Amino acid sequence: MITKTYINSISYQIIGCAIEVHKHLGPGLLESVYHSCLIDEMKECGLNVKSQLYVPIHYKKKDLGGVLKLDLLINDLIIVELKAVEQMIPLYKAQLLSYLKLTGKPKGLLINFHSENIKQQLVSVVTEEFANLNEN
């Protein structure tokens, strides 16, 4: 059974993996470098990772043919969007919220590797699907 506690425990693992990657690489590299290393780290932790996942755009129950490309989908529950930017802007969070809405996933994480401390710029977003889950 999928619960808030289960999803949060996976989030905790993902964040731990991101911190580990950041500890070894530091800030200032390309997003693609962090992307590859984070995938490897998460797989080593036993997480199911899908990378560069294409998601069709459905509007009013019609497939419009367009697609979105998500950075990472973990355990088919959590969308992870990666950045390596000097400044986080509201658009990044808005995009993550849209991805969550279009996919029906309960939680998303926005991680910026171009920072001194990953946790300070980490953005965690939950949806109504998450709110409707049992705690344990």
Query: Could you report the per-residue pLDDT of 3-26, keeping only the tens digit for each?
Result: 999 999 999 999 999 999 999 999
For residue 19 the two structure tokens come to 């911190």
Inform me whether the pLDDT recorded for 90 exceeds 90. Answer: yes
Domain assignment present for 78: yes
Domain assignment present for 52: yes
Taking only the tens place, the pLDDT of each residue in 45-73 is 999 999 999 888 888 888 887 778 999 99
The count of domains in the chain is 1
pTM higher than 0.85: yes
Burial level of 89, CB count in 10 A (0-12/13-18/19+)? exposed
Domain assignment present for 136: no
Which domain does 9 fall in, by range?
Answer: 4-131
Domain assignment present for 64: yes
Domain assignment present for 117: yes
Cα distances (angstroms) measured from residue 9 to each of 15, 52, 75, 135: 10, 23, 12, 12
